[in-house]
Structure 1
Amino acid sequence: MSASLSRRDLLAVSGSLAASALLPSIASAAPANVAAAKGVTLDLKPMLLKLRHTWTIARSSSDEKKNGLLTLASGGITGYGETAANKRYGQSWESGEAAFAKVKAACAGLSPWEHLAWLERAEEAAGGDSQVVAALDMALWDWKGKAVGQPVWKLLGIPTGRMAQTTFSIGIDTPEVMKEKVKEAEPYPLLKVKVGLPGDETNVAAIRSVTQKPIRVDANEGWATAEEALAKIAWLKTMGIEFVEQPLPVAKNAEMKAVKAASVLPLVADESVLHVKDVPSLVGLFDGVNAKLAKCGGITRAYELAALGRALGFKLMLGCMIESSLGIAAAVAVAPLYDWLDLDGNLLVANDPWKGLVLKDGRWDLPSGPGLGVVPV
């Protein structure tokens, strides 16, 4: 891909975006046989998730995650969504609470069928706290699916038979603990290993000593220079690694361009891509983009991001935060649009408060139930 778009590329992008923009508009119209919803009640409450293991990446470590449960009730139907804060973007449970209050006020008077109006007002009111916009979008789709008795993926027109296998993530720890985590991950056919701290080679070699499964790695901006990144990437190739996520900090685009030009492995943007509008600037810097609902603003925006990314020639990856099965179910609804999946956040949680998702041979089933297809435990 070149750093600039040809006229042909621009027309392809424009067509993809036009098509993606139509989808939520069509889905937002209330069917003639469905009674109009009157009055909407919005609420946000904390949802504390306990992790099976201490979760360590290049920049942080934690034993629990305080997410939020957003409920949208109208006409006797309740839709659910999940906030998942990320410190990297200045988010927290508290920032989500504050953003939610502003979003609630901004969206007063709207019907659940006015989906795009909700999103536009929420994105403006949230002030960049995309976790709240994502949770609201999830709840709107969940409500809508329940209102018409259909799974969200069917409302989106998502094709069946295209679900990729998800990776299972191994957080940074001592080599011995990481080897034990790999043994615990025996049911999962693909692994994702966190790197980006001193000891990368020791940790990856330890994991390779106990498994020959395909492995992908995520540096989470952990390598400081192009030289360091290229040296690590060259060594990782000898270990049979498939691709590398976010080798350098977001601000280092000049260095990232040099890494892309010389890399022997595909490179995938993670922290460098939050919203749909970020995707074009990554042409020439990465081979793929990793969307997450909590980053981009939910199901609708992930659908749009897939359309734009595909038109620009990127490989598409759909990831997640530490989330319950509610948040993962929302991602599963659009997952068949993506080439690579890292939808394991609920598998890392010891007290998942939602049920209904089914994983077979590393692939999530598209739920058959209405809405997002999950229910409280």
Structure 2
Amino acid sequence: MAYWLALLHAPGLGSRGYNRLLKETSPQQVFENPGLANKLGSVRCDLGSYIRNPDWDAVETDQQWAEAAGHHIITLEDPLYPALLAEIDDPPPVLFVVGDPACLALPQLAMVGSRNPSASGRQTARDFAFHLARSGLAVTSGLAIGVDCASHEGALEANGITIAVTGTGLDRVYPARHHELAHRIRDNGALISEFPPGTPVLPGNFPRRNCIISGLSAGTLVVEAALKSGSLITARLASEQGREVFAIPGSIHNPLARGCHQLIRQGAKLVESSEDIIEELSPLLGTLIPDTGETPPRKPDSAPRQLDDEYLQLLGNIGFDPIHADQLIERSGLPPETVSSMLLLLELEGYVSSLSGGRFCLTGKN
């Protein structure tokens, strides 16, 4: 293990250079034969010089981290290394895991989407994750705010397994607001990273994280995504890895639906329910059972549960396509201050979702 970790810390080597070495030799042989290291090393890495003076302090830090309860280090040669991930081009040679590493072998569905979803998009992610987890799929995402968070939470509410792939070392939680969520994921699945402890938040780490998210999974579901979105990169990676790509359509007026619509035009499978995904993946995985149980519990509502006639009148003028508040004032005949107050309460109640530009739409709540 020490040689694997020492090679992981070689500056400039990266997964591609590391995997090139593994095709020819072993980490131990690299350190025992510096000449071989020079021959096979990356052009960006003076591997021979590093081999003569490896960073054993970093290796010791990694090994000390692994001594804590629930901490694991898995190499490509380890039986616990996830088989699907090993199939991708240049898989991470070393994985750091907090939680149960055995869950990495479970059938997984990646769920990704906007960091700033609409209220209905957030609820959709939560509901899909709930039912998919109940069907036997582990839900894999990236611990980010928005759709990622809702997906993890939905799986946890179903008492299912969820896996979070991070772009930092596992000695920190990013974003920090998800500290409690990370602990719940640890206890009901796993957090994994290819980056050793001490790795900070760096923009270049997140494309690699996305590659692992899709690589672990039989398919990737995109819930809401703008046209220029990291979620579309994850979907592209999934397609290149030979995995299924699913997308949830939305209103043509919703900018967060355009990325999903683009994916569907490019061949992603349009889904309207979790059963659509189960039906598609069952022949590949063979162990999935469609969930026909109840929907996940909703959070306590803040607005009155019994809507009076004015609220019903206002709701009658709102559809699933976005409408501006000024149009609602005109259609309903209600005073502007009344409409503004009612929209706020309806949003808190979960009946409507607010969008950019002062627009609103129904969420689908009865």
Q: Which has the higher contact order (CA 8 A, sep 6+)?
A: 1
TM-score over 0.5 (shorter chain): no
Higher strand share: 1
TM-score bracket, normalised by the shorter chain, equals under 0.3
Higher helix share: 2
TM-score scaled by length of structure 2: 0.26
Look at both structures and tell me which one has the larger radius of gyration over its CA atoms: 2
TM-score scaled by length of structure 1: 0.26
